[in-house]
Amino acid sequence: MTSYDFSPLFRSSIGFDRLARMMDATTKAGAATTTFPPYNIVAVGEDRYRITIAVAGFAEDALEIEVREQNLKVTGKRPEETSDVRYLHQGIGAGNFVREFQLADHVKVTDASLSNGLLVIDLKHEIPEAMKPRTIQIETGSPKSLSSRARKAVEGVVGEKAA
């Protein structure tokens, strides 16, 4: 497996350290990444997403969803079995799990539901008003009228200082 050194990115950029740490963690995880429980990620709309996780056999109180610093963490904990069951074949996942998803900036969890062994988590990308594109009105007129406006504005400021 190829190893990548992200240290140049850490020392030559500002504000991208989270991205570099995420890429570094992904490459280190490598083959150790678990596939349980299986999940789907679907784009439901332009700014809406849905994560569906197969959690057959987990009760609602055995599941926990936590969002911290743009990291969505889903944990499943099964109660300890006290019976002496002797499995001939155990194909249904029976262990505890932790599944983590890295969320982009301004992605919020809007809803979560459990039905028929599927945990569905709805997400929405909410861009703050200050970050949305806006159109600036361009005033038209002759350069002479624009310069007179500028002069009046300057005279108004100078007049205020004199008063």
- Which CATH number describes the domain made up of 35-82+89-130? 2.60.40.790
**Phi, psi for 19 (deg, rounded to 5):** -65, -45
pLDDT value at 8 more than 70: no
Domain ranges of the chain: 1-33, 35-82+89-130
pTM of the predicted model as reported, rounded to 2 decimal places: 0.62
pLDDT value at position 5? 67
pLDDT value at 158 more than 60: no
Cα(129)–Cα(132) distance, rounded to whole angstroms? 5
pLDDT per position as a tens digit, 49-61 = 999 999 988 889 9
